[in-house]
Amino acid sequence: MYTILFPSDYFNRNKIDTELEQEYIAAKNAGFDVMLFDYSSWFESKKLVLNQNVDCDLVLYRGWMMKPKLYCEFEKQLKNVGYHLVVECNAYKRLHEFVYVYPIIRDDTAPMMKFPLHTRMDVKFLQDTFGRFMVKDYVKSVKGSDFPVYFDSTITQSEFDGWMEKFYQYRGNLLTGGICIKKYLNLKKYDGHTNEYRVFYYFNEPMILMKNSNQSDACCKPPVALINKYKMLDSPFFTLDFAQLEGDSWIIIESGDGQVSGITDSSQIELFYKILKEKN
């Protein structure tokens, strides 16, 4: 049995972060002990402050993403006060940063190249290699902005350089690892929604499958064989995101650490913690 560790509200270390309140309540309802750490103290000063102590020394984190270096410091400071994370820092890094998963799943994901940060990439080379391509860092793309979803043969070198400057600005302090250039593939849509699913894996077994793009419940699901194919990735708690292509085949589009991957279907929050408790 372990304790679930959540970040607190920014202004009150004894209150759960509002955006995680449903999960906090669901974890308690499932029978888990829960604990909070001071959000502002940690994310601003890298100082771990817990709101209480519990008898169990094993901890599963549920909360916001951390860069791997910060997560390792998180693990270190927890150990200093007698707690051990279920997911140690090397496992976190392997699944949080897509480049470490890519060599294993490359047969079932979009072709990709990686580059160091602030490398001036030859757009003609990228166009010749991928046709259309998208830009991400090792963890995330830029969403909810004017940054293009993909680039194609119409983009010039100077235009692309300008967009990359914006990419660095938009990612800001969240910028992680390096740059990933991925071939852009057309996903199948149903009534305007892509057909994407997230699978949480717990100790190398699929734990729960959930919709990831507000698609209809009637949409087909990823093949069980594909879900099971990569269940042995080297972490006790991770996620893979699957998407259906226009030609009806399926690919993996993302990987993630299970502690910082969102529950993409809010109707399954209670079920998520119920299953987690049963497997604990």
In the predicted model, is pLDDT for residue 143 greater than 90? no
Q: Domain 111-183's class?
A: alpha beta
Structure confidence at residue 72 (pLDDT): 98
- The crossing angle, in degrees rounded to 10, of helices 157-171 and 123-130 is 90
Q: What is the pTM of this model?
A: 0.95
In the predicted model, is pLDDT for residue 56 greater than 90? no
Structure confidence at residue 53 (pLDDT): 82
Average pLDDT for the chain: 96
Structure confidence at residue 167 (pLDDT): 97
Identify the CATH number of the domain defined by range 187-274.
3.30.470.20
Radius of gyration of the chain (CA): 20
In the predicted model, is pLDDT for residue 52 greater than 90? no
Structure confidence at residue 151 (pLDDT): 98
- In angstroms, the CA 272 to CA 268 distance is 6
In the predicted model, is pLDDT for residue 54 greater than 90? no
Mean pLDDT along residues 146-171: 97
194 backbone dihedrals φ, ψ, rounded to 5°: -70, 160
Architecture of domain 3-86: 3-Layer(aba) Sandwich (3.40)
Structure confidence at residue 27 (pLDDT): 97
In the predicted model, is pLDDT for residue 165 greater than 90? yes
Mean pLDDT along residues 242-258: 97
Confirm whether 111-183 and 187-274 share one CATH topology. Answer: no
- Give per-residue burial for 33-70: e unless 16+ CB within 10 Å, then b: bbbbbbbbebeeeeebebbeebeeeebbbbbbbbbbee
Residue 185: band (very low, low, confident or very high) from pLDDT cuts 50, 70, 90 = very high
Residue 275: band (very low, low, confident or very high) from pLDDT cuts 50, 70, 90 = very high
In the predicted model, is pLDDT for residue 258 greater than 90? yes
Domain ranges of the chain: 3-86, 111-183, 187-274
Structure confidence at residue 250 (pLDDT): 98
What digits encode the pLDDT tens for the residues 189-204? 999 999 999 999 999 9
In the predicted model, is pLDDT for residue 227 greater than 90? yes
Structure confidence at residue 280 (pLDDT): 81
